Amino acid sequence: MRLETNAGPPERIETPLMVVLVASDRLPPEPGPRPEAAPQAEPGMGLELAALDRLVGGALGRAVAAGDFRGRARDRVLGHRPAERGPERVLFIGVGSTKALTPEKLRVAAGKAVRAAEFRCLRSLALCVRFLDMEALGARGVQAAAEGLVLASWRFDELRSEGGADGEAAANGGAAMDGTARPPPVESAVVVAAPSDGLEEAVRLGHAFAAGENRARTLQARPGNIATPSHLADEARRIADEAGLEVEVLGPAEMKAEGMEALLAVSRGSDEEPRLIVLRHRGGEHGEAPLVLVGKGLTFDAGGISIKPAKGMEKMKYDMSGGAAVMGAMWAVGRLGLPANVIGVVPGSENLLSGSATKPGDVIGSRAGRSIEVINTDAEGRLILADALDYAVEWRPAAIVDCATLTGAAVVALGHHRSAVLGSDEGLVEELRAAGDAAAQPCWPLPMGPEYRKQLKSGVADLRNVGGRPAGTITAACFLSEFTGDIPWAHLDIAGTAYGSTKKPYLRNGPFGLPCRLLLEWVHARAFS
């Protein structure tokens, strides 16, 4: 989606749809009158809202007088202009009270605006936030509104024939007015706000954060026969070209030379070769320690010899969600030109089963020189991450953050509402929690300690790859910590949050791109700290 800003009078902006966000404590006092007898607006409402209401014949004022519009989040009123200029339609949407307004509520309202445009088969709209208390919300609120617009515009159409009916669009509030044909995409939007020095930058940030996450969602949505490890590598090269990044791709020969036996062991059951992707952004001072983002890129996970149940296995194309999020984040970091050195690492592999696949009970090596007893081949993500983390440690980064759809135990512990966060550095964990709250991608800390590490003790190797059913998310993180050395490190388990069904209007069922914006919030905060 293309985004622009406009600080002019909303009633003069030419657009097929103007969506106006209205707080419950800033409503017009009475029905909108004739233009020649306009009343004084209620304090805090502003004369411009009255002007917009007059443009559509006082539709908002009449709804307020009748008690049909109170500014609640579910309230909306649509009016059409009789004049030849200005918005063709004006849709007033309630956002609740000013006191309770948050960036996430603006993100949600922006998503509703895009869905309203889709419903009417419109390709563009304007979102007016100037009647809200933007001084209190500041640039963060404008950024969230921009994110909501861009995130809501995403859809995965590249594998569809043109003009096909689509039940998914209806399920997500995006069906055309006849309820069958898929509507055209919403391609552009204008953010209408009061003049502000930070307006353009807030919209630029919001657009880049959301566009990066949308790239991650597209990678997630592609099926395993398309989004192979080599496909991820090709996409990384495109991202590097677009965002001005450096890119390096290691194949099996380079991995063998590096001693990445754990990553290679996971890929043995597949005909698809593994890849290790490295994207570099050199935006900081020369020699400054980088921030490293590591994402699991398991492009399809059948479980290997420890095969998964058939039901729902098609969703295992999402097992590369962490890698997709890192790639989307690196694209945004490069496009924004953030003043920090940032490196993204994505180990890519498939986990299938064949005569050459790694078996339960096998003992494999790793780049770090640690031997690993493979108890369960379906605990493969930690194996490919182990080599990637050890590879990153050699750069002596300021911090490493990895993200992975790692354990079903994370879903049992936290459901689909929060990601689990664990790490070796409490300060880093708290930074990620703050970044998650800012992105509305919250995470919750779980403990780590030597008592959990004991569950990984092996009788034949340095450690085994699973620690049993108790504390599965924690023991998986303990396994990863064996390969992070003394570098501040944190791990995000996104098994319950990276994809699924949602009622958020700025998302669609399927891939969410999470935690791309969380990672970007963290990098941005570090870059400007």
Residues ≥6 apart with Cβ < 8 Å to 420: 410, 413, 414, 443, 444, 445, 446, 473, 492, 493
Instruction: Classify residue 301 by its DSSP letter.
Output: E
Instruction: Classify residue 16 by its DSSP letter.
Output: S
Give the Cα separation of 290 and 338 in Å (integer): 12
Give the Cα separation of 132 and 135 in Å (integer): 9
SS3 state of residue 333 = helix
**Residue 382 annotated in active site:** yes
Which one from 54, 81, 215, 382 is the annotated catalytic residue? 382
Residues 479, 456 contacting (CB under 8 angstroms): yes
SS3 state of residue 521 = helix
Give the Cα separation of 356 and 204 in Å (integer): 49
SS3 state of residue 346 = strand
Give the Cα separation of 391 and 472 in Å (integer): 25
Residue entry with tokens 């090709």: 234
Which one from 70, 140, 308, 359 is the annotated catalytic residue? 308
Indicate the pairing of strand 2-6 with strand 188-192. parallel
Residue 508, amino acid: R
Task: Retrieve residue 141's tokens.
Answer: 């609120």
- Residue 399 region by backbone torsions, left for phi larger than 0, else alpha for psi between -120 and 50, else beta: beta
Give the Cα separation of 190 and 199 in Å (integer): 12
Burial tier of 70 (Cβ tally within 10 Å: 0-12, 13-18, 19+): middle
Residues 484, 395 contacting (CB under 8 angstroms): no
Catalytic residues: 308, 382
